[in-house]
Amino acid sequence: MKNIKYLAACALAFTLALVSCEDETLSPYLEPEAGAHAFGELEKDGKFDESDIPGSSVDVALRWVSVDKKVKIDKIELYVNFLEEYVDKDGNPAVAVHGGKTGVLLPTSLSGLENRTPGNVNITAAQVYQLFKDAKFKYDGATEVAVFGNPTNPRPTNAQFLPGDSFSLTWRLYSADGKVYKSWSPSVCTELRGANCSVDWFVE
C-alpha cells in the first residue's frame, strides 16, 4: 500500500513538473497585437470642377484610430491613384489605374495628431497633375503612350483632367514604436463603423 502511495505521489510530482515547464510559445492562444486604422472623408463638394480644373481642389479630413489606445501614430503618409476611363483594343470600356497597387506618394503628410482627432489636407488638381504628368500606359495592351499626350484622348493644357477621371486617396500609418500599418481586411475597410481605407473623388 505504501508503495502504491509513493508511486502515485511521484507520478503527481512528475506531472506538475511537466505543466510548470510547459513552453508558453506552444500555447494555442495568441494574444492579438494592438492595431490602428484610419477614417477619411471629403469635405464640402469633394470634386474637381470640370469648368475650372486649374483652380480645383478637394479637402480631406483624416483621423487615425486605436480602439484599445495601445498604439500611437506619429505620421500619416498619403498616396494617390489616378483612374482613367478608356476603350480597350476590343472595344470594351476599361479603366487605367495610374499609380499601381500603392499609389503615388503625395508630398503632404499628417503628423502630430491625437487618437480620433482629424487632420485636414487640401489636394489640388495641379498637385495631382505633377504626380502623374510623366505617366504612361499601354492602352492597346502593347505600346506605351504618354497619358497626357495620348492622341486618342487629348487633354487641354489648361484642363488636364476630364469628366470620367477619378482619384483615390489611401494612406500608411507610422507608429511611435516603428510599426507601419498599410493594409487592412475588407471588413475594416467596408464594415467597421468609423473606418475606411480610401477616399475617392471625381471630375464633375
What would the pLDDT profile of 21-43 be if each residue is shown by its tens digit?
455 555 565 566 789 999 999 99
> Considering the chain, what is the average pLDDT of its residues?
89
CATH 2.60.40.1940, applies to 35-202: yes
- Nearest alpha-carbon partner for 72 in 182, 179, 170: 179
Say whether pLDDT at 4 is over 70. Answer: no
What would the pLDDT profile of 148-201 be if each residue is shown by its tens digit?
999 999 999 889 999 999 999 999 999 999 999 999 999 999 999 999 999 999
What is the residue extent of each domain of the chain?
Answer: 35-202
Confidence of residue 67 (pLDDT cuts 50, 70, 90): very high
> Which residue did the predictor score with more confidence, 106 or 156?
106
Once rounded to an integer, what is the mean pLDDT over residues 59-68? Answer: 97
Question: Is 0.85 topped by the overall pTM?
Answer: no
HSE-CB for 170 with a 13 A CA cutoff: 16
- Are 72 and 176 a contacting pair, CB within 8 Å? yes
- Are 160 and 203 a contacting pair, CB within 8 Å? no
Rounded Cα distance, 137 and 157, in Å: 19
Q: Where are the strands (E) in the chain, listed by range?
A: 37-43, 57-65, 73-87, 93-98, 104-111, 119-124, 136-137, 145-146, 166-175, 180-181, 199-202
